[in-house]
Structure 1
Amino acid sequence: MVSTGAVPNLAFRRLRGQRSAGEFAAAVRRAAREIGEQVACDARYIGRVESGEIRCPNYAYERVFLHMFPGTTLADLGFSSRETVRGRGARATVDTPPPTAPHRDTDEESDVLRRVFMTSGTATMATATLGIGGTSAAAAARPAPRRVGEAEVSAVEKAVRQIRLLDDRHGADGLYRKASHPLRIAYALLDSGVAAKRSTAGRLHAGAGELAISVGWLAHDSGRFEDARSHYAEALATARVAGDAALEAHAFCNASFLARDTGRPRESVGAAEAGQRAARPLGSPRLLALLALREAGGRAGLGDRTGCERAIGRAHTAFGRGRSDADPEWMSFFREAELEFLEAQCWSVLGEWSRAAHHARRAVRLQDPHFTRNLALYRAELTWDLGRAGRAAEAAAEGHRVLDLLDRVRSTRIRAMLAGSVTALRPQRGTPEVREFLERYAEVSDTPSGTPK
Structure 2
Amino acid sequence: MTSPPAKSASSRTVPARPNTAFRQLRGRLSPGEFAAAVRRSAREIGEQVSCDARYVGRVESGEIRCPNYAYERVFRHMFPGLTLPDMGFAPRETVRGRGARTAAVSAAPLATDPDHRDTRIQTREESDVLRRAFITGGPAAALGLAALYPLDTADTPAAVPGPRRPAGGRAGASEASALEEAVRRIRLLDDRHGAEGIYRRAAQPLRAAYDLLDSGVQRRAVCDRLHSGAGELAISVGWLAHDSGHFDDARSHYAEALATARVSDDPALEAHAFCNTSFLARDAGRPREAVRAAQAAQQAARQLASPRLLSLLSLREAGGWAGLADRSGCERALLRAQRLFAGGPSDNDPEWMTFYGEAELAGLEAQCWSALGEGQRAAEHARRAVALQDPHFTRNIALFTAELAGDLAAGGAPDEAAAAGDRVLKLLEQVRSARIRTMLDRTARMLSPHRASAPVAGFLDRHAASAAADDGGGRRPGPAD
Tell whether the structures are fold-level matches, with TM greater than 0.5: yes
Q: CA, structure 1 residues 240+350, in 2 after alignment: closer, same or farther (shift >3 Å)?
A: same
- Which residue of the other structure, out of 190, 207, 213, is the alignment partner of 1:167? 190
- Counterpart position of 2:394: 372
Counterpart check, 1:409 vs 2:428: no
Amino acid of the structure 2 residue aligned with 1:221: D
- Partner of 1:223, secondary structure, is coil
**How many Å apart are 1:265 and its aligned residue?**
0.4
Query: 1:256-281 CA distances to partner (integer Å, 9 max, x unpaired)?
Result: 00000000000000000000000011
**How many Å apart are 1:116 and its aligned residue?**
2.9
Amino acid of the structure 1 residue aligned with 2:286: R
Contact conserved, 1:293 with 1:311, CA < 8 A, in 2?
yes
- Counterpart position of 1:390: 412
Give the Cα–Cα distance (whole angstroms) in 2 for the partners of residues 296 and 379 of structure 1.
Answer: 21
- Counterpart position of 1:331: 353
- Which residue of the other structure, out of 358, 361, 373, is the alignment partner of 1:351? 373
1:44-83 to 2 correspondences below 5 Å = none
Q: CA, structure 1 residues 127+413, in 2 after alignment: closer, same or farther (shift >3 Å)?
A: closer
Give the Cα–Cα distance (whole angstroms) in 2 for the partners of residues 272 and 159 of structure 1.
Answer: 27
Counterpart check, 1:224 vs 2:246: yes
Amino acid of the structure 2 residue aligned with 1:283: A
- Which residue of the other structure, out of 364, 369, 387, is the alignment partner of 1:342? 364
Give the Cα–Cα distance (whole angstroms) in 2 for the partners of residues 138 and 442 of structure 1.
Answer: 39
- Partner of 1:147, secondary structure, is coil
**How many Å apart are 1:191 and its aligned residue?**
1.3
Q: CA, structure 1 residues 114+289, in 2 after alignment: closer, same or farther (shift >3 Å)?
A: farther
**How many Å apart are 1:143 and its aligned residue?**
6.8
- Partner of 2:170, secondary structure, is strand
Amino acid of the structure 2 residue aligned with 1:149: G
- Counterpart position of 1:298: 320
Contact conserved, 2:144 with 2:204, CA < 8 A, in 1?
no
Contact conserved, 2:405 with 2:421, CA < 8 A, in 1?
yes
Counterpart check, 1:311 vs 2:319: no
Query: 1:90-113 CA distances to partner (integer Å, 9 max, x unpaired)?
Result: xxxxxxxxx9xx9xxxxxx9xx89
Q: CA, structure 1 residues 145+234, in 2 after alignment: closer, same or farther (shift >3 Å)?
A: farther
Query: 1:53-79 CA distances to partner (integer Å, 9 max, x unpaired)?
Result: xxxxxxxxxxxxxxxxxxxxxxxxxxx
Contact conserved, 1:364 with 1:379, CA < 8 A, in 2?
yes
- Counterpart position of 2:221: 199
- Which residue of the other structure, out of 288, 291, 308, is the alignment partner of 1:266? 288
Q: CA, structure 1 residues 283+441, in 2 after alignment: closer, same or farther (shift >3 Å)?
A: same
Q: CA, structure 1 residues 416+116, in 2 after alignment: closer, same or farther (shift >3 Å)?
A: same
Contact conserved, 1:129 with 1:140, CA < 8 A, in 2?
no
Q: CA, structure 1 residues 146+440, in 2 after alignment: closer, same or farther (shift >3 Å)?
A: same
- Which residue of the other structure, out of 170, 177, 185, is the alignment partner of 1:147? 170
Q: What TM-score do you get using the length of structure 1 for normalisation?
A: 0.70
- Partner of 1:319, secondary structure, is helix
- Partner of 1:194, secondary structure, is coil
Amino acid of the structure 1 residue aligned with 2:216: G
Work out the percentage of aligned pairs sharing the same amino acid: 61
- Counterpart position of 1:62: none
1:32-51 to 2 correspondences below 5 Å = none
Give the Cα–Cα distance (whole angstroms) in 1 for the partners of residues 287 and 187 of structure 2.
Answer: 26
**How many Å apart are 1:414 and its aligned residue?**
0.5
- Counterpart position of 1:118: 137
- Partner of 1:263, secondary structure, is coil
- Counterpart position of 2:206: 183
Amino acid of the structure 1 residue aligned with 2:452: G
Query: 1:261-306 CA distances to partner (integer Å, 9 max, x unpaired)?
Result: 0000000000000000000110000000000000000000011100
Counterpart check, 1:431 vs 2:453: yes
Query: 1:302-329 CA distances to partner (integer Å, 9 max, x unpaired)?
Result: 1110000000000000000000000000
Between stretches 324-333 and 430-439, larger displacement belongs to: 430-439
Contact conserved, 1:117 with 1:152, CA < 8 A, in 2?
no
